[in-house]
Structure 1
């Protein structure tokens, strides 16, 4: 069976990063060749030191890249993506351009794998350009209007007039998950091709991508936005990979929904980086799991 490569970007969370990689390898080692770890430029010296265990123990499988910039959760100016330093600092992009495998697993660095998600996704992938948790439904008005939902993005395909009306009719007085993107008139891509809807994406905290099919269509070889890029729509931002997801579907490919939550526990993402108390609690939880389940302490 052909092996895959893994792409992971690391900003902080050294214990969670270690738990992510050792648990992934415990369950899916037979599918994995190289792990491309992008160590973000914004890591503190202490956070970088915390990666020493991973760098030492996994050195035979690990390629470490140090991007010049850290985009974090800021949108990327598409005009600057021709600059190699800017583009390669986009999440997962170094692995995207350097892997020699047909498929690439992209993951967050706060996962605890409990089963062989790689093997299961390989078996279920078929001709999909990506497989994983499809749908950012809490940020989509179609979800609240009952028109679309998790794993159903292929079924609801509104035109621009319907999409605009959908956004205009949404009740924005409730929890602020939906951005009123109709106020910025979307952007040229979505005015020309309203489907898939702006928030929709394959959630890249754990997704398997058909690199052989997608790479020729994605920057720097093609016109598609990088998978790891956060992009702008007026004053609002499209989440990581949403524009890439849209571009791939407009170009005739499709993504497939897969219940990754049956194989792993995912942390709280960026919220952990914004709340020091949550960050420390999650790091301590990961450290405890490493000691108890993997006999690892550092």
Structure 2
């Protein structure tokens, strides 16, 4: 039997996008995939809490889909900063994006991705082939860098690109010079990070979360709770998710390999802004993009027929959430009264 990998998907709304992600992924890469971990964030955009149950129900009778659904205990968000708590508190740590799958998979390699992807080629197979023949210090493969925000990128100083991140190694002086010279979207934060000692990889550089594959053993060895590096799926005071993790493992001698994402998949294919994130704060944009994804499903995979499970599961979930919120608010009320 050929080597298989598990997949970890961060679920923040967009159930119809998620269905497209899984269907298109398995169409092109299904032979390489065993389990698909889906972690539903504790808070969901625009109160779309029913979405996860639509995904579960859609694949309920599909023998080719093995879902592992994870409900994080906390809503941590990308701006997590408490690395000491992450070392000691399992529920807290596994509430960080992608961490549950990275900690619990039994596979040698894990592929993580957003839940708004449309695959048109076998990206998992391509990454797996590279990983299996790579040197031991290759910890991850995927799209490298956020060059559109980096002062060394082609739109600014044009000194670096995803293929030469190992070659362009600026000194502190050079890094500060180009950062001060170009009004990048996060210029001030970039300067603060460089001043803090993280020069190369530059502050915007990371193994991108859209779709990437990890060497699980290397990840666990270096990342909390076993290592000292803060989890991949957090900001930790960096410019964006995973930039601190990417810098710190690179400093330890690990390397990444760039793969051209658009050769295999498209991010946010049903979002008119192509960002994938603006819809999180815009209810109308969110609804339109979901409608486009639903239309794609029905056109390419047939009519969608949900069972009564969706409404039942949502009712139970809603009751639990409201009860928990009531307890929190009541506790807070009495704490304020007693504190006076």
Query: TM-score when scaled to structure 1?
Result: 0.90
Quickly say closer, same or farther: Cα 1:198–1:32, change in 2 above 3 A. same
Q: Distance in 2 between matches of 1:133 and 1:68?
A: 30
- Cα deviation, 1:248-285, whole Å, max 9, x if unaligned, reads 11111100110121111111322221222221121111
The residue that corresponds to 1:261 in the other structure is: 262
State yes or no: 1:287 paired with 2:303. no
State yes or no: 1:221 paired with 2:226. yes
1:28–1:119: 8 Å Cα contact kept in structure 2? yes
The residue that corresponds to 2:30 in the other structure is: 29
Q: Distance in 2 between matches of 1:67 and 1:211?
A: 21
Quickly say closer, same or farther: Cα 1:202–1:36, change in 2 above 3 A. same
Q: Distance in 2 between matches of 1:209 and 1:26?
A: 22
Unmatched runs of 5 consecutive residues or more in structure 1:
none
Q: How does 1:9-158 map to 2 (within 5 A)?
A: 9-43=10-44, 44=47, 45-54=49-58, 56-57=60-61, 61-82=66-87, 83-125=89-131, 126-127=134-135, 128-143=138-153, 144-158=156-170
Unmatched runs of 5 consecutive residues or more in structure 2:
269-274, 306-340
- Cα deviation, 1:146-184, whole Å, max 9, x if unaligned, reads 1112332111111222222222222x2xxx523323553
The residue that corresponds to 1:180 in the other structure is: 188
What is the Cα deviation at residue 63 of structure 1?
Answer: 1.0
Q: CA RMSD in A?
A: 1.9
Query: TM-score when scaled to structure 2?
Result: 0.79
What is the Cα deviation at residue 196 of structure 1?
Answer: 0.6
Pick which of 54-63 and 150-159 moved more: 54-63
Tell which structure's C-alpha radius of gyration is larger: 2
3-state DSSP of counterpart to 1:67:
coil
Q: Distance in 1 between matches of 2:58 and 2:98?
A: 18
2:113–2:209: 8 Å Cα contact kept in structure 1? yes
3-state DSSP of counterpart to 2:20:
helix
The residue that corresponds to 2:247 in the other structure is: 246
3-state DSSP of counterpart to 1:51:
helix
- Cα deviation, 1:12-43, whole Å, max 9, x if unaligned, reads 10100111111111111110111111111113
Pick which of 119-128 and 285-294 moved more: 119-128
3-state DSSP of counterpart to 2:60:
helix
3-state DSSP of counterpart to 1:231:
coil
3-state DSSP of counterpart to 1:162:
helix
3-state DSSP of counterpart to 1:255:
strand
Q: Distance in 2 between matches of 1:116 and 1:289?
A: 20
* Number of aligned positions between the proteins: 287
Q: Which of 204, 209, 213 is 1:208 aligned to?
A: 213
